[in-house]
């Protein structure tokens, strides 16, 4: 070829419509084809881990809301379980059920956002507004529960801060009856759309080995065919008593571990969350919702690592205590961070439009990457 | 244009006193202004229409604050765009940057020259009409590349390059589909193509042969690609290129881009209607033959088609009256003030109807020459208003499809887009062209 073309550096983000918060990618492209894609993170760094060292244990709870603002309940839950295990706090059964209930409800709305923005990144605007409409209903339910719509600060060490309001479970099952047919509607609407499939099937395939090498977690890991879900394999709270399936990626739609499989895993997980919620409603025990025995919390010196299954995968808290009312060190391990690390390897050779699909399919949320 | 001038000249005696040449000058100027304004208002109304369609599909309401039903929202937006600061990036190529939107607008405006509004009403019925349209359509791509290049922004550059590749490619299936029509009509003149489709729905080119049926879809898809609408909106793909070629444009320069884009929707749907859906041909009614019947009023009114039309009008009027009555009752029950009442807010169309009736009463009361007025009204209705409404209605129906797709479909990737053009539409276009030739050879 006599024709030589120059590559150009394209700066995508941090203010770009499809970077889900504030992410930045430095791309070296040859026209549309990406030769090198380097994620540049840190635009949303708030030093949460350092803040944790300055505050008493209970005071850090509102900060976990901001850890992943689309799944605040799950982050609350992970932190609460960590401290409870370290400080040996009992949790009453009703509180355990309420916690699982809110966590699964939050998983649903987090996946709704993920699915909606996914479609929006592929160019279909309407599914987003429809998923937002459903999310609004859940937000109303959460508002009823704890007064907040986004950053809930609902879970406490030893339970939850408020009991379920009168008639909450009825309203919740009303929502579930409404929501379940909606999923099928989304599938007709966008999931099975020919163009949507064309854009996603076989794009940015993550093999089993790659998924393990990059320590992917959650839906991204399961989409690559690895059957691993902490809720089932290392049950915490009352997940051991509940029945649910763990959706695994298949090669039914073409290639396992591509963007399209990752999309479907989220749809299937929403179905399973509805199942879990129905069981929670049926089994909800009576009794106290908060163990108020330990008001002045002190943790014995030692180390503990607790991991829970958040919507974006494994959420781990590594707590080092040297006694006292504050942690010595709190390391937070999040799913989005490891998901971002694989972008550089998968990115080269993709087109700009595919990169957008890849980021959307990994369901990266900026605050979780930067913390 | 001569047709229109002659028609008006024959109809109105006072024009004959004025003389032919001044009449022609006045008529041409007026018509040009009307069409230009039509373009402006249409592109504004399209933004309103698009936002309403977006509202319906997105489970929300769309604009409903400015004016009745939010109809004048686009004027408020226009005023906002004019008042905004016009920013030209320091590193931009200033002259090209400034010129690009107007070039785009020029392409769209020039297209309106050959778009028919009725049997006699067209700015210029060129004998190379559709060829001219293909030529003016290509202005777009120059404007977009200029905008993309002059902005000195990499996203804009990518958008400009994408649009160049896309629009130039899609010209081919577009032209092939139109060639099928030219083959059938034996002319390239827009009015000639419409006249060739006279005589009922089965004479419309879309239904005349299997190949032209296919050609319609080829044309429609490639035309949507040419005006950068979803699913082919990759030059301005929001989630990839932020805004594509117009990323650095602000204020009214940006508005001009959008005016051209929305005007283009009307252009492509009008061409689709002209070439495949019978243009201003009214189903079940041959408007072309009404010329000489102009003054024999009674014989015309006795036709079943006209009676049906009158029946439809009567039904519509009854429906409106029923709605107005309900609104009125609602107002009275709640003791609403006149200007805040539902009756006034939602049934302003009745005021127009009332004015028409008042005018009629005035004519009767003053013993004005009723028969002459009626024949003029009748002539204006069947020669100008009805064909225009039919044409416009068909175009709006197709426009709705364009907007509906915009809010339903995802967008193709750049290579898939090229694949659709070169692997599917272009070969199919050739098959249509050759097939139509055979079809006509077999059945003529």
Contacts of B241 in chain A (CB under 8 A): 352
Nearest CA in chain B to A189: B408
Asked if pLDDT for residue B243 goes beyond 80, the answer is: no
Contacts of A124 in chain B (CB under 8 A): 408-411
Burial of A296 (C-beta count, 10 Å sphere; 0-12/13-18/19+): exposed
Under an 8 Å CB criterion, which residues of A touch B? Answer: 8, 10-11, 16-18, 31-32, 119-126, 129-130, 133, 190, 193, 195-196, 198-199, 351-354, 356
**Closest by CA position to A163, among listed A285, A283, A65, A276:** A285
Residues contacting residue A344 through CB under 8 Å, at least 6 positions apart: A36, A37, A38, A39
User: How does pLDDT run across B108-129, given as a tens digit for each residue?
Assistant: 888 888 888 888 778 878 888 8
Contacts of B410 in chain A (CB under 8 A): 119, 122-124, 190, 193, 195-196, 199
User: How does pLDDT run across A261-319, given as a tens digit for each residue?
Assistant: 889 899 999 999 999 999 989 988 888 888 877 667 878 888 999 999 989 888 899 99
Task: Report the Cα–Cα distance between both ends of chain A, in Å, rounded.
Answer: 47
**Mean of pLDDT values over B389-401:** 90
Largest pairwise CA distance in chain A: 79
**Mean of pLDDT values over A161-173:** 89
Residues contacting residue B14 through CB under 8 Å, at least 6 positions apart: none
User: How does pLDDT run across A40-51, given as a tens digit for each residue?
Assistant: 888 888 888 899
Nearest CA in chain A to B60: A129
User: Per the CB < 8 Å rule, is B234 touching A353?
Assistant: yes
User: How does pLDDT run across A192-243, given as a tens digit for each residue?
Assistant: 888 888 888 888 888 888 888 888 888 988 888 888 888 888 888 888 888 8
**Mean of pLDDT values over A14-24:** 77
Nearest-CA distance from A191 to chain B in Å? Answer: 11
Band (pLDDT 50/70/90 cuts) for residue B304 is: low
Band (pLDDT 50/70/90 cuts) for residue A175 is: very high
Band (pLDDT 50/70/90 cuts) for residue A139 is: very high
- Taking each helix axis from N to C end, the angle separating A168-186 and A126-146, rounded to the nearest 10 degrees, works out to 170
User: Per the CB < 8 Å rule, is B240 touching A353?
Assistant: yes
Nearest-CA distance from A7 to chain B in Å? Answer: 12
Asked if pLDDT for residue A321 goes beyond 70, the answer is: yes
User: How does pLDDT run across A86-128, given as a tens digit for each residue?
Assistant: 888 888 889 999 999 999 999 999 999 999 888 888 888 888 8
Evaluated on CA atoms B360, B361, B364, B365, the torsion sign reads negative
Distance CA B388, CA B395 (A): 10
Nearest-CA distance from A127 to chain B in Å? Answer: 8
Q: Where are the domains of chain B?
A: 83-281+401-443, 304-368
User: Per the CB < 8 Å rule, is A124 touching B408?
Assistant: yes
Nearest to A126 among B58, B237, B242 (CB): B58
Evaluated on CA atoms B191, B382, B262, B61, the torsion sign reads negative
User: Per the CB < 8 Å rule, is A198 touching B59?
Assistant: no
Nearest-CA distance from A360 to chain B in Å? Answer: 10
- Taking each helix axis from N to C end, the angle separating A93-122 and A126-146, rounded to the nearest 10 degrees, works out to 160
ipTM score for this prediction: 0.80
User: Per the CB < 8 Å rule, is A123 touching B239?
Assistant: yes
Band (pLDDT 50/70/90 cuts) for residue B428 is: very high
> Which domains, from first to last, does chain A contain?
8-365 (1.10.645.10)
More confident residue, B391 or B340: B391
Band (pLDDT 50/70/90 cuts) for residue B363 is: low
State whether residue A25 is helix, strand or coil. strand
**Per residue in A242-271, is it b (16+ CB within 10 Å) or e — as a string?**
bebebbbbeeebebbbbbbbbbbbbbbbbb
Asked if pLDDT for residue B339 goes beyond 70, the answer is: no
Nearest CA in chain A to B161: A31
Q: Which two tokens stand for residue A92?
A: 């009453």
User: Per the CB < 8 Å rule, is B239 touching A196?
Assistant: no
């Amino acid at each position: 070829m006599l024709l030589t073309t120059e590559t150009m550096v394209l700066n995508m983000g941090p203010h770009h419509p499809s970077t889900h918060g504030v992410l930045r990618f430095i791309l070296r492209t040859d026209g549309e084809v990406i030769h090198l894609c380097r994620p540049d993170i840190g635009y949303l760094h708030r030093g949460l881990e350092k803040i944790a060292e300055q505050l008493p244990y209970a005071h850090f709870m509102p900060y976990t809301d901001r850890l992943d603002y689309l799944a605040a309940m799950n982050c609350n839950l992970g932190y609460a379980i960590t401290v409870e295990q370290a400080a040996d706090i009992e949790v009453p059964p009703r509180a355990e059920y309420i916690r699982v209930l809110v966590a699964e409800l939050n998983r649903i709305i987090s996946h709704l956002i993920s699915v909606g923005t996914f479609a929006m990144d592929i160019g279909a605007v309407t599914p987003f507004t429809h998923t937002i409409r459903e999310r609004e209903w859940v937000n109303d339910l959460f508002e009823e529960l704890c007064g907040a719509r986004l950053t809930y600060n609902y879970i406490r060490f030893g339970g939850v801060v408020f009991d379920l309001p009168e008639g909450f479970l009825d309203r919740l099952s009303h929502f579930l009856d409404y929501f379940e047919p909606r999923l099928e509607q989304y599938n007709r609407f966008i999931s099975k759309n020919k163009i949507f499939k064309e854009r996603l099937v076989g794009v940015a395939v993550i093999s089993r080995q790659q998924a393990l090498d990059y320590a992917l977690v959650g839906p991204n890991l399961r989409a690559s065919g690895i059957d691993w879900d902490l809720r089932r394999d290392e049950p915490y709270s009352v997940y051991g008593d509940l029945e649910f399936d763990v959706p695994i990626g298949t090669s039914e739609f073409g290639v396992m571990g591509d963007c399209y499989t990752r999309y479907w895993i989220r749809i299937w997980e929403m179905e399973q969350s509805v199942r879990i919620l129905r069981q929670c409603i049926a089994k909800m025990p009576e009794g106290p919702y908060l163990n108020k025995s330990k008001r002045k919390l002190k943790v014995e010196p030692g180390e503990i690592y607790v991991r829970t299954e958040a919507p974006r995968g494994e959420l781990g808290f590594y707590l080092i205590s040297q006694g006292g009312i504050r942690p010595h060190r709190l390391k937070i391990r999040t799913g989005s961070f490891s998901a971002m690390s694989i972008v550089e390897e998968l990115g080269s050779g993709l087109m700009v439009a595919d990169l957008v699909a890849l980021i959307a399919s990994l369901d990266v949320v900026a605050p979780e990457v930067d913390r | 244009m001569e047709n229109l001038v002659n028609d008006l000249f024959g109809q109105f005696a006072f024009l004959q006193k004025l003389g032919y040449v001044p009449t022609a000058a006045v008529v041409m100027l007026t018509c040009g202004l009307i069409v230009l304004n039509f373009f402006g208002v249409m592109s504004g109304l399209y933004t309103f229409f698009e936002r309403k369609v977006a509202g319906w599909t997105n489970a929300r309401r769309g604009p409903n604050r400015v004016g009745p039903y939010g109809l004048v929202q686009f004027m408020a937006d226009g005023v906002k765009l004019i008042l905004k600061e016009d920013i030209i990036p320091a590193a931009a190529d200033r002259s090209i940057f400034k010129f690009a939107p107007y070039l785009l607008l020029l392409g769209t405006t020039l297209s309106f020259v050959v778009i028919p509004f009725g049997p006699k009403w067209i700015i210029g019925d060129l004998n190379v009409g559709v060829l001219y349209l293909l030529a003016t359509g290509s202005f777009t791509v120059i404007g977009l590349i200029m905008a993309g290049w002059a902005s000195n922004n990499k996203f804009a550059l990518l958008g400009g390059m994408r649009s160049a590749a896309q629009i130039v490619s899609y010209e081919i299936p577009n032209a092939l589909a139109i060639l099928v029509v030219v083959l059938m009509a034996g002319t390239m003149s827009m009015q000639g193509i419409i006249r060739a489709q006279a005589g009922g729905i089965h004479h419309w080119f879309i239904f005349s042969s299997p190949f032209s049926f296919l050609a319609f879809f080829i044309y429609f898809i490639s035309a949507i690609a040419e005006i950068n609408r979803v699913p082919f909106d990759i030059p301005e793909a929001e989630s990839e290129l932020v805004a594509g070629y117009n990323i650095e444009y602000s204020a009214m320069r940006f508005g001009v881009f959008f005016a051209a884009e929305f005007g283009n929707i009307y252009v492509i749907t009008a061409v689709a209607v002209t070439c495949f859906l019978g243009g201003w041909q009214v189903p079940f009614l041959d408007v072309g033959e009404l010329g000489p019947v102009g003054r024999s009023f009674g014989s015309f009114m006795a036709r079943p088609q006209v009676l049906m039309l009158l029946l439809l009008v009567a039904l519509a009027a009854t429906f409106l009256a029923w709605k107005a009555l309900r609104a009125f009752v609602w107002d009275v029950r709640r003791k609403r003030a006149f200007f805040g009442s539902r009756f006034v807010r939602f049934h302003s169309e009745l005021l127009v109807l009332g004015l028409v009736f008042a005018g009629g009463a005035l004519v009767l009361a003053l013993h004005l020459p009723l028969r002459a007025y009626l024949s003029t009204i009748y002539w204006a209705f069947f020669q100008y208003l009805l064909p225009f409404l039919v044409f416009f209605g068909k175009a709006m129906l197709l426009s709705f499809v364009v907007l509906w797709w915009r809010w339903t479909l995802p967008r193709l990737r750049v290579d898939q887009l090229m694949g659709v053009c070169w692997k599917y539409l272009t070969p199919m276009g050739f098959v249509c062209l050759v097939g139509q030739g055979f079809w006509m050879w077999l059945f003529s």
